[in-house]
Amino acid sequence: MIVVSWNCRGMAAPSTVSELRSICKYLRPSVLFFMETKASNLSCARTRRNLGFDNIFCVESRGLSGGLCLFWKSNINIDVYAWCDNFIKAQISTVNVNVWEGIFVYGHPDFKRRKELRNELTCVDNNLHVPRTFIGDFNDVIAQHEKVGLHPKSTSQIDTFRCFVDKNALMDLELQGTKYTWFSNPRNGFVTKERINRVLANWEWREAFQHATLSALPAISSDHMPLVLNVTSRGIRTKCFKFEAFWADHADCGNIIRKGWNSVCNSLVDHWTNLSRRMNSCKQELVKWSKANFKRVDIEIQK
């Protein structure tokens, strides 16, 4: 089961709809969670039909701001039992998976309102051991190194967020492939980057889904990266591609990358599929080139 969470900054924009189609075609997610839809329930229902989802739950936007939306397929059972402008609480299950609690969160831009929201989301002691995960845009970082910008994050805001995590006995799922999930527009020639989109889970949920992984897609039509939570067991793990820094020092590296990039013709496919094919072609060419020209670095280090 794949869950995609995205602060799309407006669901009805043509670029957003195009990107959603590409995500659905590429990942085939079972659940989609949107924040800042800035759309009516009627518009969200139209998007659901276009993307091929069976069920929908919406918290309608207030004018041109806010709005939450949840899409899911018929093979997933989702029972929404509480909601407001900043969260949707639901019981989630499939045929072969135990019931767990999914809390889809959009942290309010105002810190005082975020603080009130976290107090409302904090679980009582007798409810801590239910398998539970929080997913969404929390609008806060958990440590200072999760922000790069002209000004550091307020220590009091970080401490308040960490207190929420500790009170609910949550752990932060490792984000693979990138460090930040939100990017600002350039200001004084500098771009602020933060990891404000994340998944927090308690031990019971992590124990039930030991192979769950979290990754992010590129930020294209929004300044937020879509999060991809893969709850399904991965089975046999494939080796992850890593670009070695010393490759760039070799005179042939640029030519190898160009060879891989240009080997894919511009076929009649969407931009995302074309980009993915070119990236995979570059990876394959770099791996073949590395095996032919370099020794196994890990073995050399071990020696």
pLDDT, block means (10 residues), the chain with 303 residues:
91 85 90 91 89 92 85 92 93 81 92 89 74 94 90 90 92 91 84 93 90 90 92 65 88 92 78 85 91 78 80
Do the beta carbons of residue 202 and residue 128 sit within 8 Å?
yes
CA 228 to chain centre: 4
Residue in 274, 272, 159 with CA at minimum distance from that of residue 217: 272
Q: Which residue has the tokens 């190898």?
A: 256
Residue tagged 């009805």 (tokens) = 12
Say if residue 170 is in the same domain as residue 284. no
- The two tokens of residue 245 are 């820094």
Say if 235 falls within a structural domain. no
User: Does residue 286 sit in the same domain as residue 214?
Assistant: no
Taking the CA atoms of the chain, what radius of gyration do you get in angstroms?
21
Domains contained in the chain, number: 2
How many CB atoms are closer than 10 A to CB 218? 11
Cα dist. 87→30, 102, 111, 131, 257 in Å? 19, 10, 16, 18, 44
User: Reduced to 3 states, what is the DSSP secondary structure of residue 134?
Assistant: strand
Note whether 17 and 50 are within 8 A (CB): yes
What domain range includes position 176? 2-230
CATH value at residue 83: 3.60.10.10
Residue 237 lies in a domain: no
Cα 270 to Cα 20, 25, 26, 109, 267: the distances in Å are: 12, 10, 11, 34, 9
Alpha-carbon distance of 245 to 234, in angstroms, equals: 28
pTM: 0.76
Strands (DSSP E) found in the chain: 2-7, 31-35, 55-59, 68-72, 77-84, 87-94, 97-106, 132-137, 147-148, 170-172, 175-176, 182-183, 193-194, 197-202, 213-216, 227-230
- Return the pLDDT at 32: 95
d(CA 298, CA 302): 6
**Residue listed under structure tokens 């004084």:** 188
User: Of the candidates 180, 203, 230, which is a domain's last residue?
Assistant: 230
Whether residues 53 and 94 share a domain: the answer is: yes
* 236: in domain: no
The pLDDT score that the predictor gives to residue 2 is 92
pLDDT of residue 224: 92
